[in-house]
Chains A and B, each alone.
Chain A
Amino acid sequence: MTQATAAIISQLPLDVVGGGERFTLHTHRSAVVCGEVVDLWCAAGGNLPLEPHQRRMTYPYHKVSSLGGKPVPTETVTLRDLLRRQADYATVVIHQHLVNASTLDILSAAPPTQKIVLTSLGAEPIGELFAKAYEQHSGVEIVEISRYAAERVATRGMRASYLSAGVWRADIAPPTPRPASPELRAITIGRLLPHKAFEVAIDAVAGLDSSVSLTIVGPSSGDAEYERYLAAMAGRSRNCHVAGYLDDASRIAALARTDVLLANSAHLTYTGKRLDQPELLGLVIVEAIAHGVLPIASDIPSFREICEHLGLEQWLYPERNSEALRDLLLAVQALSSSQRCRIVRDAAERLAHGYLWDDYWLRLTTRNSASPLALSRAA
């Protein structure tokens, strides 16, 4: 068996469905496609963010095989064993590095010749502690998934760059004009979490006539109160439907059947709680374009970044503003099928520049680590 030269370590388990986990699995696939012999490791779950060293050393990690589809653990080791084996890799990519203090153990155990890349995918329980303990050096790069994410890191005094990806070239389907119809089918996708602000979409659609419908797709997040709140809201509306969890294929099929995707994430939740960052990238927007669906997104920094790159700024609405969203839905409804297709096709062409998984691993590993990591896209 060929000795792996690189490792991807996810500090969160990979057995749940979410944007972060998908990003890790796609990164692994990208590495394989680019010809790297790479091991995929992930935390087995249940590891507390902050524990004394001796206890951290017993944290279990799975070696995962994911090429057959669903990630399957093939080997389980303790963190101590993983650290001992870590030196065998020339490159180590740590995803979700702000989830657990053991990221710092991995950084400490790195030989000077090893290249380490850190990518946070949103979960940040040890964000502040990491900023205090992290010592910048040329062997470690923080490569975030968007300019916005990299800028956030920079505000904590750490040097970071960014590199985005969200779609395989083969998955980009050219939009096909649909028969003229007064109906507008909208979809919103994501884990049922308060910061996804599904209620804004429901509110917007509920105020429109029955020619506009909304389907909410996404797995449960465990926040039962929010799920009840959403169900009640959707129940009051004639044209809203909560579909719940769909597997990848069904989700993509459902997406492809619709006319417009609504991405509503917001800093402020329905309870008034303010979040530092609701999204770091917005994979769902990229996926929508790839499948020929026009996205409408809330104007949060990461969504704006993607929309600007794809030439879709006009489809941004102020976050949590259901009136503005309603206006945009009406504007989409007013577009002819060919107009809509042209917008999506233009955006899809731009996707190939900087959002492809196909060359993501090469872009990640062939960066010039010696140069100052200004906030520049290494496309």
Chain B
Amino acid sequence: MKLLFVTNLFPPHVVGGYEMGCLMHAQAAQRAGHDVMVATSLSFGGLQKQSSAPGVAVRQIFEPVFDYEFGDRIYQRPLNYAGPGGVHPGNCLALSEMIRAWQPDAIWMHNPLGLGPVGILETAVASGVPTVMHLMDFLDEGIRLSQHGFELSGRWAAAKSRVHAIACSQGTLEDNSRIGRYASAIVVPGGIEVDAVACRRAGDQMNFPVNGPVRMVSFGQLKSHKGVQHVVAALGVLRTWMKLDVELHLIGSCEAAFETNLRAIATAARCDEAIHWHGRKNRSDLHELLATMHLAVLPLNDKEAFGYVAPEAALHGMCVAIGRNAGCSEVFPDGYPYLLSARDDPNMIAATVRRMIVDGEERRCWERQLASHIADRCDLDRVVLPRCLAYIEGLVAASSRSEASVISAEESLERSLAAWQMNRNLARLLGDEGPAPEDKQRRLSRRLNRVLRRVVPPAFQYQLKTLANMLRRRRAA
């Protein structure tokens, strides 16, 4: 099959798992003998770059999507006003031309946010080429949040209804059904190159602690929404209250401001000397390092569509404490005891880690079965990709039998762009261009937050937030 991948960012330009996932799918599809082409955007600013070359044909035909220097979310700092949730005519035309020239059998779309996703999806649909959206993030939420100066949710839903989806978790599929539903959808867990990750540690390392402290790891993007601050606070609880000899290894990129916060939290929790900062590592070094760890704590939040880090850690033969509602929790076995119901509660994290350490019998039992269980579900080449390709092949076969579209691709594109242009024309004529001003409440809240961040020490801020979370949970209970 000729597979055209469409995604906003593609390695070497990387924000997180979506880009890496797309790369893995493209490479694996190529390995499986398919003809692969990736259509992605040009990059802008200091977007972090992976050193490894993708090794697949890439065409950077789309405009740069967002200003990574000033925000880590596409809809926060878009370079193009329409990028996060509207129509970007240039990108639509580029995609249309690409489809016309390359004649793919199927379009395997990954993350279209930032490219003018409504227009991109409509262009793909109009082409008549079977289109599959690989859902590894909550796209509908991104679309909803970016409807300022235009309201195209209906168009997004209409286009979705003619597109198929592969979701990396059931939760992700449900969250992506908030604005309309896909024509059909299957759930296929995120794929991992198991052979590259496979456990490299010696068997005796599993019987920790042998000599010295228990090595606990948290890796991936070190950001507040990944819950790293809770792990640091939990480390304090483990060491000072539970008197356990545990050290924390943090591996991954971390913004300077957040690192300062983490260090302050660690100092307040009197565990700063037990934290090892490794910074960002390439894949090979990361796996070498993970092979030396005893357990992983990854309190991924409910908005984590999948979270490759947790199954990767499990493939290293480690037990992982993970957020109960993160997408990847669906690939862990039934009855797995280390799911965190309150992923933002340091005491709960500490109690879970303590159980891992103290109840060695239980932990070893899970360690033995975890890697093979995850491999059976997430092995990219043997499980995930064959399922995805079988689904796409089925769609291609079905589409060749279906009737021709009522209107031509050119006409559909023309309508899509003209409709969008009317919005732009009106905005210009009314002097109403640009994102809507923030409402008063949000502006006030942001100002208050800024002041609080300046005045209140980070560690105390964290304690306040934790207390507030605890109270909220109690009230909910």
Binding partners A and B: yes
Chain A interface (Cβ within 8 Å of chain B)?
A: 50, 52-54, 57, 79-80, 83-88, 101, 104-105, 107-114, 129, 132-139
Q: Which residues of B contact A83 (CB under 8 A)?
A: 151, 153-154
B422 touches A107 (CB 8 A): yes
Q: A111-B158, A112-B122, A137-B418 are in contact. Are A53 and B153 (CB under 8 A)?
A: no
Query: Which DSSP category, helix, strand, loop or mixed, fits chain B's interface?
Result: helix
Residues 157-176 of chain B, each 1 if its beta carbon lies under 8 Å from chain A, else 0: 11100000000000000000
Q: Which residues of A contact B422 (CB under 8 A)?
A: 104, 107-108, 133-135
A107 touches B419 (CB 8 A): yes
A111 CA to B87 CA, complexed, in Å: 12
B411 touches A138 (CB 8 A): yes
State the Cβ distance, B332 to closest chain A Cβ, in Å.
37
For the A-B complex, the count of residue pairs with Cβ-Cβ distances under 8 Å equals 106
Which 9 A-B residue pairings sit nearest by Cβ, starting from the closest? A87-B154, A108-B423, A111-B158, A133-B425, A137-B418, A87-B158, A135-B418, A112-B415, A112-B412
Since A84-B153, A137-B414 are in contact, a sample of 16 more A-B pairs with Cβ atoms closer than 8 Å, ordered by chain A residue number, is: A52-B430, A53-B150, A53-B432, A54-B436, A83-B153, A83-B154, A84-B157, A101-B426, A108-B420, A110-B415, A135-B419, A135-B422, A136-B418, A137-B418, A138-B407, A138-B411
26 A-B pairs, CB-CB below 8 angstroms? A53-B150, A53-B430, A53-B432, A54-B148, A54-B437, A80-B147, A80-B151, A84-B154, A84-B157, A86-B154, A87-B155, A88-B154, A101-B426, A101-B430, A110-B419, A111-B154, A111-B158, A111-B159, A129-B429, A132-B429, A133-B422, A135-B418, A135-B419, A138-B407, A139-B418, A139-B419
A138 touches B154 (CB 8 A): no
The residues in B between 67 and 98 inclusive whose CB is less than 8 angstroms from any CB of A are none
B455 contacts partner chain A, Cβ-Cβ < 8 Å: no
A134 CA to B423 CA, complexed, in Å: 9
B421 contacts partner chain A, Cβ-Cβ < 8 Å: yes
Q: A83-B153, A135-B418 are in contact. Are A112 and B429 (CB under 8 A)?
A: no
B157, closest chain A residue (CB): A87
B407 touches A137 (CB 8 A): no
A52 CA to B406 CA, complexed, in Å: 36
B418 touches A52 (CB 8 A): no
B415 touches A138 (CB 8 A): yes
A54 CA to B147 CA, complexed, in Å: 10
A108 touches B414 (CB 8 A): no
Q: Which residues of A contact B111 (CB under 8 A)?
A: none
A86 CA to B407 CA, complexed, in Å: 20
Q: Which residues of A contact B430 (CB under 8 A)?
A: 50, 52-53, 101
The residues in B between 404 and 449 inclusive whose CB is less than 8 angstroms from any CB of A are 406-407, 411-416, 418-423, 425-427, 429-430, 432, 436-437
State the Cβ distance, A9 to closest chain B Cβ, in Å.
13
B152 contacts partner chain A, Cβ-Cβ < 8 Å: yes
A50, closest chain B residue (CB): B430
Q: Which residues of B contact A113 (CB under 8 A)?
A: 158, 406-407, 412
A133 touches B426 (CB 8 A): yes
B155 touches A111 (CB 8 A): yes
A112 touches B154 (CB 8 A): no
State the Cβ distance, B178 to closest chain A Cβ, in Å.
11
B154 touches A85 (CB 8 A): yes
Query: Which DSSP category, helix, strand, loop or mixed, fits chain A's interface?
Result: loop
State the Cβ distance, A94 to closest chain B Cβ, in Å.
13
A327 CA to B109 CA, complexed, in Å: 75
B337 contacts partner chain A, Cβ-Cβ < 8 Å: no
Q: A53-B427, A133-B425, A135-B425 are in contact. Are A108 and B154 (CB under 8 A)?
A: no
Q: Which residues of A contact B159 (CB under 8 A)?
A: 111
Q: Which residues of A contact B149 (CB under 8 A)?
A: 53
Question: Looking at B147, B420, B422, B423, which has the most chain A CB atoms within 10 Å of its CB?
Answer: B422
State the Cβ distance, B294 to closest chain A Cβ, in Å.
50
B313 contacts partner chain A, Cβ-Cβ < 8 Å: no
Q: Which residues of A contact B147 (CB under 8 A)?
A: 80
Q: Which residues of B contact A53 (CB under 8 A)?
A: 148-150, 427, 430, 432, 436
B154 touches A109 (CB 8 A): yes
A105 CA to B157 CA, complexed, in Å: 17
A113 CA to B421 CA, complexed, in Å: 17
A112 CA to B152 CA, complexed, in Å: 12
A283 CA to B412 CA, complexed, in Å: 37
State the Cβ distance, B364 to closest chain A Cβ, in Å.
53
Q: A53-B427, A104-B423, A134-B422 are in contact. Are A109 and B152 (CB under 8 A)?
A: yes
B126 contacts partner chain A, Cβ-Cβ < 8 Å: yes
State the Cβ distance, B297 to closest chain A Cβ, in Å.
41
Q: Which residues of A contact B157 (CB under 8 A)?
A: 84, 87
Q: Which residues of B contact A139 (CB under 8 A)?
A: 415, 418-419
Q: Which residues of B contact A110 (CB under 8 A)?
A: 155, 415, 419
Q: Which residues of B contact A129 (CB under 8 A)?
A: 426, 429
A42 CA to B16 CA, complexed, in Å: 46
A328 CA to B104 CA, complexed, in Å: 73
Q: Which residues of B contact A111 (CB under 8 A)?
A: 122, 154-155, 158-159
A134 CA to B421 CA, complexed, in Å: 8
State the Cβ distance, A227 to closest chain B Cβ, in Å.
36
State the Cβ distance, B266 to closest chain A Cβ, in Å.
44
Cβ contact of B419, chosen from A80, A88, A137, cutoff 8 A: A137
Q: Which residues of A contact B154 (CB under 8 A)?
A: 83-88, 109, 111
Q: Which residues of B contact A54 (CB under 8 A)?
A: 148, 436-437
A369, closest chain B residue (CB): B407
A57 CA to B152 CA, complexed, in Å: 12
State the Cβ distance, A25 to closest chain B Cβ, in Å.
26
State the Cβ distance, A311 to closest chain B Cβ, in Å.
41
Q: A54-B436, A129-B429, A133-B422 are in contact. Are A112 and B407 (CB under 8 A)?
A: yes
A132 CA to B429 CA, complexed, in Å: 8
Question: Looking at B151, B179, B413, B423, which has the most chain A CB atoms within 10 Å of its CB?
Answer: B151
